[in-house]
């Protein structure tokens, strides 16, 4: 609130000096643009991700060649005008392979985040609401959690054939317990909220209580958790591919490229460098979005419109 005085005060009346601008209410920006300006980390991370998505989608049109074409005569070339990122031990163009590898990472990250969130949400809601199911479900989740996610994914991959679908499945199973635990915790605290009791007293049936009062208030922490799962899934996929338990070698993924460049690391470090740089930037971008969303969705940080 600002008070402006146009008339001079009557004599003898002391008027408080104008408050410095520091005390002025913060300027509130509305809409999507305003949101991004208020939360620059989301904007930066989002922009980076957008670029990566464009790279993944339009990989064939970005001056790439067939990423699996072997050219023994052009092995291990240094980065140059012809081969922007150089070539690997089989003479394949690393620039093309890295760009196509974006597809695998983004697909795995997104699919795992989505799958683990939805399944974890369901398990968490049931555990939070059905008392007898709580013990059984959460002990199963504890059991899954006691195995390190990468080991679990490796074990699951050992049971099946290497394919992107199986990689997604294996990482999703390993990530579900984290979401389930989070959602259960949120549900248990929301159930104690007076407005939930108020809704029950107003005759709202349980499914509607969940849908109207519980679910909308779990989305914010879920969304933040989903971004972290997305980032961790991308890293897990790269690790699985790196140790040869993930994406099959016929499909270029960042983990594969790094695995193939490992033997030549000391003489041709660029083979590992480029996919690693892309992986780092992607994970950074996702984490930036996650951090920004966590701050933006925290009700204590919220600015009233």
Partner 1 sequence: MTMPLLQVNDLKKHFPISGGLFGRTKSKVHAVDGVSFEIARGETLSLVGESGCGKSTVGRAILRLFDITAGQIVLDGERIDDLGPHRLREMRRRVQVVFQDPFSSLNPRMRIRDILAEPINNFGLAKSAAERDARIAELMEIVRLPRDAVNRRPHEFSGGQRQRIGIARALAAKPELIVCDEAVSALDVSVKAQIVNLLQDLQREFGLALLFISHDLAIVEHMTHRVAVMYLGKIVEIAPRRQIFASPGHPYTKALLSAVPVPEPGAERTPIILKGDVPSPVNPPKGCRFHTRCPLAFDRCRSEVPELRLKGEDQWVACHLENA
Site for partner 1 in 34-73 (CB under 8 A): none
Gyration radius (Cα) of the chain, Å: 26
Nearest to 217 by CA among 245, 235, 191: 191
127 vs 282: CA distance, rounded Å: 34
The answer to the question of residue 201 lying near partner 1 (CB under 8 A) is yes
- Which of 11-19, 159-167, 202-210, 276-284 is the region at the interface with partner 1 (rule: CB under 8 A)? 202-210
218 vs 183: CA distance, rounded Å: 7
Q: Which of 77, 97, 181, 213 binds partner 1 (CB under 8 A)?
A: 213
Q: CB-wise, 68 or 204, nearer to partner 1? A: 204
Q: Which of 188, 200, 239, 281 binds partner 1 (CB under 8 A)?
A: 200
The answer to the question of residue 130 lying near partner 1 (CB under 8 A) is no
Classify residue 279 as exposed, middle or buried by CB count within 10 Å of its CB (0-12, 13-18, 19+): buried
Q: Which of 193, 262, 269, 298 binds partner 1 (CB under 8 A)?
A: 193
273 vs 23: CA distance, rounded Å: 49
Q: Which of 198, 243, 269, 301 binds partner 1 (CB under 8 A)?
A: 198
- Which of 13-21, 23-31, 201-209, 280-288 is the region at the interface with partner 1 (rule: CB under 8 A)? 201-209
The answer to the question of residue 304 lying near partner 1 (CB under 8 A) is yes
The answer to the question of residue 194 lying near partner 1 (CB under 8 A) is yes
Helical pair 215-242 and 254-261, crossing angle rounded to 10 deg: 30
62 vs 24: CA distance, rounded Å: 49
Site for partner 1 in 240-299 (CB under 8 A): 299
Smallest gap from Cβ 23 to partner 1, in A, equals: 21
Do 104 and 165 touch, CB atoms closer than 8 A? no
Q: CB-wise, 44 or 297, nearer to partner 1? A: 297
Q: How many residues bind partner 1 (CB under 8 A)?
A: 20
Return the structure tokens found at 228: 């972290």
Smallest gap from Cβ 180 to partner 1, in A, equals: 19
Do 5 and 15 touch, CB atoms closer than 8 A? yes
Binding mask of the shown chain, residues 214 to 233, with x at each position contacting partner 1 by CB under 8 A: --xx----------------
Q: CB-wise, 74 or 191, nearer to partner 1? A: 191
Q: Which of 2, 146, 202, 250 binds partner 1 (CB under 8 A)?
A: 202
The answer to the question of residue 146 lying near partner 1 (CB under 8 A) is no
The answer to the question of residue 204 lying near partner 1 (CB under 8 A) is yes
Q: Which of 197, 243, 265, 301 binds partner 1 (CB under 8 A)?
A: 197
Smallest gap from Cβ 2 to partner 1, in A, equals: 19
Q: Which of 47, 110, 199, 297 binds partner 1 (CB under 8 A)?
A: 199
Q: Which residues of this protein are in contact with partner 1, per CB under 8 A? A: 135, 193-195, 197-205, 212-213, 216-217, 299, 302, 304
């Amino acid at each position: 609130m600002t008070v402006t005085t146009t008339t001079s005060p009557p004599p003898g009346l002391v008027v408080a000096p104008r408050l410095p601008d520091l005390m002025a209410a913060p300027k509130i920006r509305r809409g999507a643009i305003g949101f991004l300006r208020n939360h620059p980390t989301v904007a930066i991370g989002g922009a980076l991700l957008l670029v990566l998505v464009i790279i993944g989608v339009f990989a064939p049109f970005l001056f790439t060649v067939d990423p699996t074409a072997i050219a023994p005569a052009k092995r291990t070339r240094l980065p140059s005008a012809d081969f922007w990122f150089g070539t690997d031990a089989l003479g394949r163009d690393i620039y093309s392979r890295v760009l196509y590898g974006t597809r695998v990472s983004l697909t795995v990250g997104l699919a795992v985040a989505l799958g683990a969130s939805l399944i974890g949400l369901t398990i968490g809601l049931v555990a939070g609401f059905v008392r007898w199911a709580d013990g059984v479900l959460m002990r199963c989740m504890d059991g899954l959690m006691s195995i390190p996610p990468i080991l679990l994914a490796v074990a699951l991959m050992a049971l099946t054939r290497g394919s992107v679908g199986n990689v997604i499945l294996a990482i999703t199973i390993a990530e579900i317990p984290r979401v389930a635990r989070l959602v259960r915790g949120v549900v248990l605290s929301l159930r104690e909220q007076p407005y939930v009791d108020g809704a029950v007293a107003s005759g709202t049936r349980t499914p509607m209580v969940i849908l109207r009062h519980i679910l909308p208030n779990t989305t914010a922490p879920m969304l933040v958790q989903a971004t972290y799962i997305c980032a961790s899934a991308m890293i897990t996929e790269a690790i699985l591919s790196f140790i040869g338990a993930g994406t099959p070698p016929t499909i270029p993924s960042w983990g594969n490229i790094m695995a193939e460049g490992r033997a030549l690391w000391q003489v041709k470090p660029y083979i590992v460098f480029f996919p690693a740089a892309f992986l780092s930037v992607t994970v950074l971008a996702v984490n930036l979005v996650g951090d920004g969303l966590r701050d933006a969705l925290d009700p204590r940080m919220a600015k009233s419109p």
